[in-house]
Amino acid sequence: MRRLLLLLLGLLLLHHSCCFEFVIDGEWEDDTLDVQDHQQRHRRAILTSEEQEDFEAIRGDDITVKSYRVESRITSRFAHTTVRSSVVNSGTKAQSIGFNVQIPKQAFITNFTMNVNGIRFMGSVKEKTVARNLYTQARARGKAAGIVRANSQDMETFKTEVHVPPGSNIEFELHYQEMMQRKLGLYEHKLYLQPGRLVPQLQVDVYIYEPKGISAVQTPNTLGAQFEELIKVTSTKDKAHVAFKPSLQQQRKCDNCTGSAVDGIFTVTYDVERDSNAGELQVSDGHFVHFFAPSNLSPLPKNIVFVIDVSGSMWGVKMKQTVEAMQAILGDLSVDDQFSIIDFNHNVRCWSEELLPGSSIQVEDAKKYIQSIKPNGGTNINEALMRAVQMLVKASNQGLISPRSVSMIILVSDGDPTVGEIKLTTIQKNVKRVMREEFSLFSLGIGFDVDYDFLERIAMENRGMAQRIFANHDAAEQLRTFYRQVSSPLLRRIIVQFPEGLVSDVTQNRFDKYFSGSELVVAGKVKASGSDTLTSFTTASAARLDLTLETEADTAQLDAELAKHQHSFNGFARQMWAYITIKQLISERSLATTAARKRTITKQIMSLALEHQFVTPLTALLVESEDATERLLADSPKDPKHGCCSGMGFGGPPGLPPPTNVIYGTPPWVQMGPTPQPGEELIKGPEAVTLPKNINFVDNDPHFIIHLPRNNMDVCFNIDSKPGHILSLVSDKGTGLVVNGQLISSKQPHKGKLSTYFGTISVYYQPDGVSVTVGTDGISLDDGRGRHAFTWAATAEVTLDGVRISIVKNAHVTVTVNGDVQVMVLLHRVWKKHPVNVDFLGIYIPNHNQYSPVVRGLIGQFSREPEVSVYDIHDGADPLKKEATMEVNGNKLLVTRGWQKDYRHDEKRGSNIYCWFVHNSGKGFIDGHYTDYIVPDLNSFI
């Protein structure tokens, strides 16, 4: 809903004297609002896009707009936008000139300045009561402020009107800030361009700087086809500039038209590079921001109860759009999902009394049911929600809901309750009493006749969110878009933590769910310490996985980089921390159950808003002339259809007692739980895995080293096979374990020989159906239902049933199976432009691994140590390498004394392991011929 912020500055400048006339139209926030008045604020009314007033950025009858410029600087997802305009009263009479700016609903205005014929008005954010008192002192000279409200989908409107004599020059400048929210895999930045007339200097610049890199920048054609070629995008790895500067002729609706075709939304979308699922940690200006947006994980199964209002008020377009959306939503369900539908008017009906799988048969039947609904009667929200919760509780008690699934209720309604329990606070308490911690409630309010404040509160209290659906031609698409945002949950119980004593004032760091395509953001202050790095630890649960992820950041590097960039926003981390904290406090304030608690939170909001100059529902922008003799007032109003201070819905920051209610966090489609207090939990990163000193391993091109404990001897051999061949290293049908490696080649022969290396190692554990594939470009885990991908760029620990995967950043990964078997894979990086060498892997396997008696493979066979004797040691052709005779398995072999490298402790130089080298690809030492160990795929036994 748009809140229209109107600053009526009736300013009349006459020669050497000036006087002011203002109109008051609006109301101040009043926490003691009468309940009856509160109910009255929700009278039924529908505002469609066609009914909204025509909008112009600059209003006036005979004026010249010399320039209109918009500049946004986006640094690390935080945007600072400045709108400037220069206007001249070209008429022969005094007139009112308006400056109107539509800004995103979630943005905070930070400043407004105005210069009228040399009189400069400067803005500053004040506590609302202080601003009112200062302003009241000047009212004797005729000043006042006005607030008018209107409704729209994405915006609020700041309006300024100045009454000036002919020939006057006016310059307006408005600043606002907002955090970019990631939805469906993209950040979207919208600028509303509606100058209402031709402008000689019309220019838009959007500067983006993302330290980790920008993966894509797009400019959707939302402004009009004729401007598509005029939008210029230039980008480098980490910077982008989007420019729009149409000439006067290019702005015209037609060649001979005097009207401007620039009338719409200028949109920029982008996403960033992510080198790991551990997130991105940035430190700047004494603050940190942790971004967490993992991908390449299998979705969690869903248990959904759709609760749909079919009362008489839903008749017509609303019901048609709802049915259309539900047809598409039901079609997106998978067979792993469970669902049911409850529709209600004065009665409550169930399509099915229990959850059913999302099979094609059930989905088709549900679509037919939805299609047959005929709206009529009253609205019994309480009974419908209670039935929905009971359905989930029953399924949970019967063991039909997986503890690793996500259970949600999605309520779609267009009005207040009229049947059954109609008291909103009682319905709120009823639902909260029966809802379990693992259930979430999402509320979708259609139109403006619904009490949106109630829907938001009941959702926030139950780990969900509310969204208004606007009753116009695209309501079905709004419903589908919302569902897409919550249709793919990837993680549950996410916690982001930091080492004790290194950070303070951390924003909400516990999240109930993470949905694909969104992003979790945690911010805080960095304490002074001797450390030049900051580390974060993130734990979460996926479909069958438990994750522990680690990432770190240099505490000085980013500030040094920001200083080099002209258009970056140097204070982004500090402002983002304040922005998130205030949003969380506003949401917590709306849920406060006592007046004392509400007053405490109010003081905190005001303190932060004043320090960081944010216009919030509790502060005002006082605009003063430079000598402070003239004062104007801009106020952020409460929304009569939205409720005061209901914000985005964040949790409270540390330092406050955790709220009883679980509330959702940033972004709004991701739910969170209360923040733990200091000392509540032990911060624990991924556990280090070490292998014993003496092991079997394969490294380089490929050199096998077999340790024989009883003989206290190391034996080595090479395998001269072809690129693409997959070699069986461990094949144990008794335990169901397979370890295989696939060969790759060097880029070209060296000294006439094409070297081979292991490029892929696979560990497959058949009993759990788990396969871990390690490559030089990343690590993947297949659990039989889906594939999860991880990179080498972050330290992580992944647990799935009896399999544990421990990744050490850019070094090695260790796979542990049931605590009995360990396999370590080392990563070898080479210079990318090297003419011959390629990245490759080494594999290290302890002797103490517990195999069955039938284990085979180039390494596995030696769990049954053969009897080996070496004798007749003598000088060889190379004086540095002795030769000898080895007797093993009844074979007498000529062996040479040499050494190979163990790279576990020194990844560059390695340490020498002396061994007896068996020639001819281990012939006579291994069972059979090496070609017997070539298998068809990475999970094959031999």
CATH assignment at residue 316: 3.40.50.410
Residues contacting residue 742 through CB under 8 Å, at least 6 positions apart = 724, 725, 726, 727, 758, 759, 760, 761, 762, 938
Q: According to the model, what pLDDT value does residue 635 have?
A: 58
Q: According to the model, what pLDDT value does residue 683 have?
A: 56
DSSP structural state of residue 617: T
**Residue 816 is assigned to a structural domain of this protein:** yes
Q: Is the alpha carbon torsion for 669, 675, 681, 682 positive or negative?
A: positive
Q: How far apart are CA 42 and CA 4, in angstroms?
A: 18
Least confident window among 580-589, 622-631, 804-813: 622-631
Least confident window among 8-12, 280-284, 740-744, 899-903: 8-12
Q: How far apart are CA 800 and CA 298, in angstroms?
A: 13
Q: Residue 228, exposed/middle/buried by CB under 10 A (0-12, 13-18, 19+)? A: exposed
Asked whether residue 262 falls in the same domain as residue 379, the answer is no
Query: What is the per-residue pLDDT across 473-520, written as a single tens digit (0 to 9) for each?
Result: 688 898 999 999 999 999 999 999 999 999 999 999 999 999 999 999
Q: Which residue has the tokens 């694909």?
A: 516
pLDDT above 80: residue 789:
yes
Q: Determine the average pLDDT of the residues in 643-652.
A: 32
**Residue 37 is assigned to a structural domain of this protein:** no
Q: Which amino acid is at 641?
A: K
Q: Give, to the nearest 10 degrees, the angle between helix 475-486 and helix 317-331.
A: 30
C-beta of residue 43 within 8 angstroms of C-beta of residue 175: no
Three-class SS of residue 857? Answer: coil
pLDDT above 50: residue 21:
no
Q: Which residue has the tokens 């000085």?
A: 556
Least confident window among 28-42, 114-128, 374-388, 762-776: 28-42
Q: How far, in Å, are 315, 371, 384, 478 from residue 322 at the CA level?
A: 11, 10, 17, 10
C-beta of residue 436 within 8 angstroms of C-beta of residue 335: no
Q: According to the model, what pLDDT value does residue 182 have?
A: 96
The token pair that represents 120 in the structure block: 């400069």
**Residue 50 is assigned to a structural domain of this protein:** no
Q: According to the model, what pLDDT value does residue 511 have?
A: 93
Range of the domain at 366: 302-486
Least confident window among 81-95, 192-206, 754-768, 903-917: 903-917
Asked whether residue 784 falls in the same domain as residue 910, the answer is yes
Asked whether residue 139 falls in the same domain as residue 244, the answer is yes
Q: According to the model, what pLDDT value does residue 530 have?
A: 79
Q: Apex CA 731: angle with CA 727 and CA 734, to 5°?
A: 170
Three-class SS of residue 5? Answer: strand
Q: Which amino acid is at 808?
A: V
Q: Determine the average pLDDT of the residues in 342-352.
A: 95
Asked whether residue 267 falls in the same domain as residue 313, the answer is no
For the chain, the residue count is 942
**CA-CA-CA-CA dihedral for 484, 489, 494, 496, to nearest 10:** -40
Asked whether residue 853 falls in the same domain as residue 778, the answer is yes
Q: According to the model, what pLDDT value does residue 633 have?
A: 60
Q: How far apart are CA 343 and CA 350, in angstroms?
A: 6
Task: Give the DSSP H/E element, type plus range, for residue 806.
Answer: strand 803-808
Q: Determine the average pLDDT of the residues in 344-365.
A: 95
The sheet carrying 58-59 orders its strands as: 4-9, 155-164, 95-104, 58-59
pLDDT above 60: residue 141:
no
Biggest alpha carbon distance in the chain? 117
Total H helices, total E strands in the chain = 13, 56
Q: How far, in Å, are 314, 412, 566, 753 from residue 445 at the CA level?
A: 11, 6, 44, 70
Q: How far apart are CA 684 and CA 546, in angstroms?
A: 14
Q: Which amino acid is at 789?
A: A
**8 or 699, greater pLDDT:** 699
Task: Give the DSSP H/E element, type plus range, for residue 625.
Answer: strand 619-625
Q: How far apart are CA 413 and CA 309, in angstroms?
A: 5
Q: According to the model, what pLDDT value does residue 636 have?
A: 55
Query: What is the per-residue pLDDT across 578-617, written as a single tens digit (0 to 9) for each?
Result: 999 999 998 888 888 899 999 999 999 999 999 999 988 8
Asked whether residue 464 falls in the same domain as residue 318, the answer is yes
**Residue 360 is assigned to a structural domain of this protein:** yes
Quick one: what percent of the chain has pLDDT higher than 90?
58
Q: According to the model, what pLDDT value does residue 567 have?
A: 83
**Mean pLDDT over each residue of the chain, to the nearest integer:** 83
Q: Which of 250, 272, 294 is the last residue of a domain?
A: 272
Q: Determine the average pLDDT of the residues in 561-582.
A: 91
Query: What is the per-residue pLDDT across 446-467, written as a single tens digit (0 to 9) for each?
Result: 887 778 888 988 998 898 988 8
Q: How far apart are CA 535 and CA 555, in angstroms?
A: 10
Asked whether residue 335 falls in the same domain as residue 234, the answer is no
**Residue 406 is assigned to a structural domain of this protein:** yes
Q: According to the model, what pLDDT value does residue 451 have?
A: 84
Quick one: what percent of the chain has pLDDT higher than 70?
84
C-beta of residue 843 within 8 angstroms of C-beta of residue 761: yes
Q: How far apart are CA 352 and CA 400, in angstroms?
A: 15
Asked whether residue 268 falls in the same domain as residue 306, the answer is no
CATH assignment at residue 243: 2.60.40
Asked whether residue 319 falls in the same domain as residue 235, the answer is no
Q: Residue 910, exposed/middle/buried by CB under 10 A (0-12, 13-18, 19+)? A: middle
C-beta of residue 762 within 8 angstroms of C-beta of residue 739: yes
Q: How far apart are CA 687 and CA 479, in angstroms?
A: 44
Q: How far apart are CA 733 and CA 738, in angstroms?
A: 8
Q: Determine the average pLDDT of the residues in 911-935.
A: 93
**Residue 446 is assigned to a structural domain of this protein:** yes
Query: What is the per-residue pLDDT across 192-222, written as a single tens digit (0 to 9) for each?
Result: 998 888 999 999 999 999 999 999 999 998 8
Asked whether residue 372 falls in the same domain as residue 475, the answer is yes
C-beta of residue 724 within 8 angstroms of C-beta of residue 760: no
**680 or 535, greater pLDDT:** 535
**Residue 808 is assigned to a structural domain of this protein:** yes
**Residue 727 is assigned to a structural domain of this protein:** yes
C-beta of residue 164 within 8 angstroms of C-beta of residue 13: yes
Task: Give the DSSP H/E element, type plus range, for residue 928.
Answer: none
Q: According to the model, what pLDDT value does residue 36 have?
A: 37
Q: According to the model, what pLDDT value does residue 684 have?
A: 59
Q: Which residue has the tokens 């390449």?
A: 296
pLDDT bucket at 691, cuts 50 / 70 / 90: low
Q: Which of 226, 250, 272 is the last residue of a domain?
A: 272
What's the structural domain count of the chain? 3
Q: Which of 470, 486, 502 is the last residue of a domain?
A: 486
State the pairing for strand pair 239-244/201-209: antiparallel
Beta-carbon neighbour count of residue 469 at 10 Å?
Answer: 26
C-beta of residue 358 within 8 angstroms of C-beta of residue 338: yes
C-beta of residue 176 within 8 angstroms of C-beta of residue 109: yes
Asked whether residue 254 falls in the same domain as residue 307, the answer is no
Q: Determine the average pLDDT of the residues in 249-276.
A: 91
Q: Give, to the nearest 10 degrees, the angle between helix 572-591 and helix 452-460.
A: 100
Asked whether residue 805 falls in the same domain as residue 921, the answer is yes
pLDDT bucket at 54, cuts 50 / 70 / 90: low
C-beta of residue 845 within 8 angstroms of C-beta of residue 695: yes
Query: What is the per-residue pLDDT across 150-165, written as a single tens digit (0 to 9) for each?
Result: 334 556 788 777 788 8
Residues contacting residue 194 through CB under 8 Å, at least 6 positions apart = 55, 56, 57, 102, 262, 263, 264
DSSP structural state of residue 447: S
Q: According to the model, what pLDDT value does residue 707 have?
A: 93
C-beta of residue 649 within 8 angstroms of C-beta of residue 13: no
